[in-house]
Amino acid sequence: MSERKIILSAKDIEVQFRVRDNYLNAIRGVSLDLYDGETFAIVGESGSGKSVFTKTFTGMLESNGKITNGSVMYDGKDLTKLVSDKDWEGIRGAKIATIFQDPMTSLNPIRTIGSQITEVIIKHQKVSADEAKKQAVDIMDRVGIIDAEKRFNEYPFQYSGGMRQRIVIAIALSCHPEILICDEPTTALDVTIQAQIIDLIKDLQKELKFTTIYITHDLGVVANVADRVGVMYGGQIIEIGTVEEIFYDPAHPYTWALLSSLPQLGVKGQELSYITGTPPSLYNIIKGDAFAPRNKYALKIDFEEEPPFFKITDTHYAKTWLLDPRAPKVEKPEAIRNLHEKIASMTSKGGAYYVEQK
Amino acid sequence: MSNKNKEVLLSVKGVDISFDVGKKKPFRAVKNANFDIYRGETFALVGESGSGKTTIGRAILRINELSKGEIIFKGKKISGKISKEDDREVIRSIQMIFQDPAASLNERANIEYCVSEGINNFHLYTDEADRIAKVDKALMDVGLLPEHKSRYPHEFSGGQRQRVGIARAMIMEPELIVADEPISALDVSIRAQVLNLMNKLKDEKGLTYLFIAHDLSVVRFISDRIAVIHLGRIVEIAETEELFKHPLHPYTISLLSAVPMPDPQIEKPKKHVVYDESKRDHSGPKPILQEIRPGHLVFGNDREMAEYEAKLQEMEKAEAEALKG
Ligand SMILES: Nc1ncnc2c1ncn2[C@@H]1O[C@H](COP(=O)(O)OP(=O)(O)OP(=O)(O)O)[C@@H](O)[C@H]1O
Ligand SMILES: [Mg+2]
């Protein structure tokens, strides 16, 4: 992995929001090297900073927010230095595109689907209206809209939720981005539609070779899409590794807790495990490990000093004092030990989630 | 346990629900729905959005009118025209928990008001002291504190707001709770808490739930029986373990394959099974929902039932052999 080309590199990013007379520290020092062609998943609970962090790659922070530290290097430029829409031209929505959770916020309800796609194509590729329409129908077809030619002149309300999300994907891809940020693209959709959209994004990625950042709070989805995973908590990445490392050898107690609370792992008649307490307030200066108050494995030092990243392998790092050589030996919770064996038996013949493949 | 010994609490019989009735093309949102809910069980209704789940839930609460069939609660018809007293009884004893805890609570009313609204309207208390005691009890039942009464919904987290929504239902001492996607809008980390709470209340109070969801993984943990609904039609009903072990209808199988499993080795190569009703072979007589094994019903005609039967026998044979070792 080390020889692979880094397409984007974020270093020590800090983001602050001004809320009335207070400052909220939404991102507290996050670094990430994104490799060309990979799918990097960001997972964590609501408010952990997943969206805000990736908004710094497209200059889309709300006006009360500011990058107070760090850099985002892309294509020889530091993106944190870009200010005006003109600075961002050719990057935002072109080289780096975003798909959001609710397709309705990205689509204009009173304009036809076709005109919304062609507009983007004309803007970024400076082609004729006829050529743009041809490309638009093509890409609608590609994202799975049946009878694309006929549905070109329809309005968003005539499309189902899953189809609208397909259109948003079509628009994002129409200018051939190098990086596609998918911010919870399927959270508002049913599981069956979610499965189709995930398959679609994966197929398109294989064909068009873009790099994907996939934001979700669903670890099942992460297992499906990701090559590497970053787990966020309280405005920081607290564990990062390959998808196998995060699922089969997680090291941070927060990652353990997230995995353990999945209903797929629940045993009938027993309580589902869950994370007690509430996420930290980001208005205050956080002392020690932000997860400590909710962490049943917390050590004394967790309340006093912020842990550094400990290296587990070349690709796997976790920010927890449990990895310090002086820390007591703690095993991950029973529910997620031998995870693969457990799930393999659930999904093989006779298991609860067995599905025969034709 | 045989279903015969159980008390039927609610019966949905031959129910059709259409919208835009009187227009040229009325939309049949629910088509000939038939199921019983037994006292003390959690009965799940699972299907994608637009499949008619919520419409059925709302019909039970007398919000949606039926265009055909009837709904029986504790032996009494509660659909269509009923007496004022019966209506009152239904409103009290069947309560609903909604998907979006924020939207279901009045943002300008404090928690005390949100929780006590039902007993205030129906005057279900002896005196003020009793009323306060009931509110406090309902809050404590869901893991909140009486001191939270003066707060407002926006001062709570999503999970806490859903607890308020549950307290608001519980205070009416209902017998049946219709929970419409009660955890879909919640963060993963709080989902488990709310599911645990619902299970706990069921055991403590002998509650019965109709649990509406689109995701089979959640339902497996909480429900005793599951009905799968597709395009307004119930296509399969079975006990939870049976449905997961022997899914027969292709739509049930596609729902099962859509559950993302937290294991990259399993999940990555997975092929999702897509069910397309329009591509289905509809030849032969009209299909109906019929029993294939005691308590396990599938929607099909004679030809399809023969296919399901063959498949089921094959699975049963394989299991019997696996047992022999
Ligand atoms: N414009 C803003 N003003 C003030 N605070 C903000 C603003 N935008 C985000 N925040 C705060 O920054 C933190 C991180 O938010 P972010 O939206 O990145 O979370 P997230 O991980 O994407 O959550 P979710 O899963 O709910 O989408 C939160 O505490 C949030 O309330
Ligand atoms: Mg977000």
Locus of tokens 């009903």: B237
A140 lies in some domain:
yes
d(CA A309, CA B154): 36
B95 lies in some domain:
yes
Give the number of C-alpha atoms closer than 13 A to the C-alpha of residue A293, restricted to the C-beta side: 10
pLDDT tens digits, residue range A123-157? 888 899 999 999 999 989 888 888 899 999 999 88
Parallel, antiparallel, or unpaired for β A211-216 and A39-43? parallel
Are B256 and A355 in contact (CB < 8 Å)? Answer: yes
Phi, psi of B56 (to 5 degrees): -65, -45
d(CA B325, CA B306): 29
Counting from 1 in the atom list of ligand 1, the atom nearest the Cα of A101 is 27
B29 lies in some domain:
yes
A19 lies in some domain:
no
B3 lies in some domain:
no
d(CA B190, CA B134): 26
CATH of the domain at A304: 3.40.50.300
Q: Which residues of A touch B199 (CB under 8 A)?
A: 271
Least confident of A102-116, A334-348, B245-259: A102-116
B193 lies in some domain:
yes
Last residue in a domain, options A121, A145, A176: A176
Q: Which pLDDT value is given to residue A196?
A: 86
State the nearest Cα–Cα gap between B144 and chain A, in angstroms. 13
* Tally of domains in chain A: 2
Give contacts of A 171-190 with B, CB under 8 A: 190
Confidence of residue A202 (pLDDT cuts 50, 70, 90): very high
Mean pLDDT of A74-89: 94
- Strands of the sheet containing A96-99, edge to edge, are A96-99, A179-183, A211-216, A39-43, A228-233, A236-242, A317-318, A310-311
Residue minimizing CA distance to atom 5 of ligand 1: A17
Confidence of residue A103 (pLDDT cuts 50, 70, 90): confident
* Tally of domains in chain B: 1
Are A272 and B216 in contact (CB < 8 Å)? Answer: no
A282: Cβ below 6 Å to ligand 1?
yes
> Helices then strands (H, E): number in chain B?
12, 12
A70 lies in some domain:
no
Last residue in a domain, options A140, A155, A176: A176
Are B267 and A223 in contact (CB < 8 Å)? Answer: yes
d(CA A144, CA A154): 16
Whether residues A191 and A163 share a domain: the answer is: no
d(CA B115, CA B108): 13
Mean pLDDT per 10-residue section of chain B, whose length is 325 residues: 75 93 82 96 91 92 94 95 92 89 82 93 93 93 87 82 90 94 79 88 93 90 95 96 94 92 93 83 87 97 94 92 82
Q: Which pLDDT value is given to residue A266?
A: 84
Whether residues A244 and A352 share a domain: the answer is: yes
A64: Cβ below 6 Å to ligand 1?
yes
Whether residues A149 and A45 share a domain: the answer is: no
d(CA B7, CA B286): 32
| Neighbouring residues of the ion ligand 2, judged by CB less than 5 Å | A 51
Whether residues A265 and A217 share a domain: the answer is: yes
A188: Cβ below 6 Å to ligand 1?
no
Whether residues A119 and A205 share a domain: the answer is: no
Are B262 and A347 in contact (CB < 8 Å)? Answer: no
Angle at B193 between CA B188 and CA B194, to 5 degrees: 95
Whether residues A257 and A344 share a domain: the answer is: yes
| 3-state secondary structure at position B6 | coil
Helical residues (DSSP H) of chain B, grouped into ranges? 53-60, 84-93, 101-104, 111-122, 128-141, 158-170, 188-205, 216-222, 240-245, 250-258, 264-267, 302-324
Whether residues A193 and A318 share a domain: the answer is: yes
Whole-number Å distance, alpha carbon A50 to ligand 1 midpoint, is: 8
Q: Which residue has the higher pLDDT, A269 or B258?
A: B258
CATH of the domain at B313: 3.40.50.300
Last residue in a domain, options A143, A176, A209: A176
A101 lies in some domain:
yes
Q: Which pLDDT value is given to residue A348?
A: 86
Give contacts of A 15-44 with B, CB under 8 A: none
d(CA B202, CA B9): 15
Confidence of residue A1 (pLDDT cuts 50, 70, 90): very low
Mean pLDDT of A298-314: 97
Angle at B246 between CA B242 and CA B248, to 5 degrees: 120
Judged by a CB distance cut-off of 8 A, whether residue A265 touches chain B is yes
Phi, psi of B84 (to 5 degrees): -60, -40
Q: Which pLDDT value is given to residue B1?
A: 45
d(CA A172, CA B78): 51
B47 lies in some domain:
yes
Residue minimizing CA distance to atom 31 of ligand 1: A47
Tell me, what's the ipTM? 0.89
Structural domain boundaries, residue A120:
96-176
B1 lies in some domain:
no
Structural domain boundaries, residue B312:
8-324
Are A355 and B253 in contact (CB < 8 Å)? Answer: yes
Confidence of residue A358 (pLDDT cuts 50, 70, 90): low
